[in-house]
Amino acid sequence: MISAGDFLDAGHAAGVDFFTGVPCSFLTPLINGAIADTRLAYVAAASEGEAVAIASGAWLAGHKTAVICQNSGLGNAVNPITSLNYPFRIPTLMVVTWRAGLGLKDEPQHELMGRITPGLLDLMEVPHRPFPTSAADVALAIEEALLKMDKTGRPFAFIMQKGDVTNDGGGDMSAPPARARGQITDVCEGGELPSRYAAMETLLGGISDDTAIIATTGKCGRELFTINDRPQHLYQVGSMGCAAAMGLGVALNVERPVVVLDGDGAALMKLGSLATIGAYAPDNLVHVVLDNGTYDSTGGQPTVSASVDFAGVAADCGYGAGIRCDGRGGFIKALAQAKGSGGPTLIHMRVRPGSMSGLGRPTISPADVALRFKEFLSP
Ligand SMILES: Cc1ncc(C[n+]2csc(CCOP(=O)(O)OP(=O)(O)O)c2C)c(N)n1
């Protein structure tokens, strides 16, 4: 048994200073300690998958990160672990609790995940070991985990059992202060909707070269690559819905502007991220939802976006501004308004479905995209 301080001190000494996750009762001392520890950043994620994406963004911005969660939440994180961390070679130190672990009688909803937790990590090729339970072993266990991650570019998991960490009282835990409802503006022009490609060309013409851009999965990233391939672009080839969370992890840790190019389907998949972004409120983040009303990349099946006011939802979640727009002129106005909104801005840009025939794919590997993006972000 160790104290939360034993783990957090050793982690901090080794450079692990950015934490995110979702609580578990087995985690209470550690997660409360991380939230209260003023040396560390802690972001309360809406889901474990979102936490993995936030941590990935923070890693790209130069931090050593930790994701802490229950083994139930491992289920929520499977997609980004396999289709974000793996192809992009983005490590994070995971602390996963083991409800229904070895010999532990637990609730029925934990039984199956308890049985498969180590095997699921093995299947995802995430190396793991038991959480260190002796104060003398903690520093070495963390050092070995970091070395392994350096070598593999993959996450590493500590599996924590009930009672592994003593409750040493933690400290004051503060949440981000409540934010006022953001401003909602409408700069719609009507007329024929531009294509997603044309909207992205407009965007690239209207932002400075120091802007980092994260594009969602599917044709959005493929079109961005086709328009122009630059180190400041990250094409999120998998992890549908995780672009905004990654953008948050980046924007919280850099001064430069960050733009997330989302799809309506992807934004709907992880709508909880709007709440997290609104709460932590980096004012250098512009979140563009390119809404074509469809899952265009998979054949144009309709989404439910027709009844979703993304700008209104964002404003209600604490974004500084939510802007509705459609035509090219409206998008240019929206981009100009995004500067100085006093928080992140969501631009709900309506585009028409469809893409060019014979659209290519990034010819640079995700791992190389991540490395050059990380380098671009470094001060
Ligand atoms: C978790 C997950 N589910 C489904 C898919 C398959 N998929 C790839 S792109 C895409 C459509 C994305 O739709 P949207 O975000 O609206 O963007 P659009 O294609 O319209 O630009 C889907 C469903 C996936 N890659 N990952």
Whether residues 156 and 195 fall in one domain: no
Rounded to the nearest angstrom, the distance between the alpha carbon of 297 and the centre of ligand 1 is 6
Residue 328 lies in a domain: yes
Token look-up 């409750």 returns: 167
- What pLDDT was estimated at residue 368? 98
The alpha carbon of 74 is separated from its chain's Cα centroid by a whole number of angstroms, namely 15
> For residue 167, what pLDDT is reported?
81
**Interval 73-128: pLDDT, tens:** 999 999 999 999 999 999 999 999 999 999 999 999 999 999 999 999 999 999 99
* pLDDT computed for residue 16 by the predictor: 98
Instruction: Report if residue 224 sits inside a domain.
Output: yes
177 domain residue, yes or no: no
If asked whether residues 156 and 192 sit together in one domain, one would say: no
- Full domain range(s) for residue 139: 2-166
Statement to judge: residues 157 and 197 lie in one domain = no
Maximal CA-CA distance, the chain: 68
CA–CA gap between residue 308 and residue 321 (Å, rounded): 16
Q: Are residues 147 and 209 located together in one domain of the fold?
A: no
Please measure the distance between the N-terminal and C-terminal CA atoms of the chain and give it in whole angstroms: 40
CATH code at 147? Answer: 3.40.50.970
Residue with the smallest CA separation from ligand 1 atom 18 is 296
Across-strand partners of 352? 195
Domain end (from 99, 133, 166): 166
In a domain, 174, yes or no: no
Cα separation values, 96 from 70, 77, 110, 149, 298, Å: 5, 11, 13, 16, 34
Q: Give the neighbor-by-neighbor strand order of the sheet with 321-325.
A: 183-186, 321-325, 345-350, 285-291, 258-263, 212-215, 233-235
Which atom of ligand 1 lies at the shortest distance from residue 218's CA? Answer: 9
> Do residues 196 and 313 both lie within one domain?
yes
* Whether the predicted pLDDT of 379 surpasses 80: no
82 & 230 share domain: no
Tens-digit pLDDT profile for residues 33-56: 999 999 999 999 999 999 999 999
Does the pTM surpass 0.95? The reply is yes
Are both 365 and 228 inside the same structural domain? yes
Query: Reduced to 3 states, what is the DSSP secondary structure of residue 261?
Result: strand
Residues 86 and 221 in one domain: no
* pLDDT > 70: percent of the chain: 99
Residue 154 and residue 198 in one domain: no
Query: Is residue 196 a contact partner of residue 220, using CB atoms and an 8 Å limit?
Result: yes
pLDDT per residue as tens digits for the range 51-66 = 999 999 999 999 999 9
Total domain count for the chain? 2
Secondary structure (DSSP) of 72-128 = HHHHHHHHHIIIIIHHHT---EEEEE-TT-TT----HHHHHHHHHHHHHHHHTT--E
Q: Is residue 172 part of a domain?
A: no
In a domain, 291, yes or no: yes
pLDDT category, 340, cuts 50, 70, 90?
confident
Rounded CA gap, 82 and 95, in Å?
17
Residue 103 Rama label (left phi>0; alpha psi -120 to 50; beta): left
Render pLDDT for 302-323 as a digit per residue (tens, 0 to 9): 999 999 999 999 999 999 999 9
Say if ligand 1 is within 6 A of residue 6 CB.
Answer: no
Same-domain pairing of 154 and 280: no
pLDDT the model gives residue 171 = 79
Task: Give the pLDDT band (50/70/90) at residue 370.
Answer: very high
Q: Is the pLDDT of residue 353 over 80?
A: yes
Cβ–ligand 1 contact at 76 (below 6 Å): no
Instruction: Give the confidence band of 178 by pLDDT, cuts at 50, 70, 90.
Output: very high
Pocket of ligand 1 contains residue 240 by CB under 6 Å: yes
pLDDT-derived band at 339 (thresholds 50, 70, 90) equals confident
| Candidate of 217, 226, 290 to mutate for ligand 1, largest count of ligand atoms within 8 Å of Cβ | 217
In a domain, 175, yes or no: no
Does 131 lie in the same domain as 216? no
Q: What are the residue ranges of helices labelled H in the chain?
A: 4-13, 28-36, 48-60, 71-80, 86-88, 108-123, 135-152, 196-206, 219-227, 243-251, 264-269, 272-280, 310-316, 328-338, 366-377
355, 196 in Cβ contact below 8 A? yes
Q: Is the minimum distance from the CB of 236 to ligand 1 under 6 angstroms?
A: no
Instruction: Please give the average per-residue pLDDT across 170-182, as a whole number.
Output: 90
In a domain, residue 46? The reply is yes
How close is the Cα of 263 to the center of ligand 1, in Å?
Answer: 8
Q: 329 CA to middle of ligand 1, Å?
A: 27
**Do 132 and 226 belong together in one domain?**
no
Here the tokens at position 342 are 């006093």
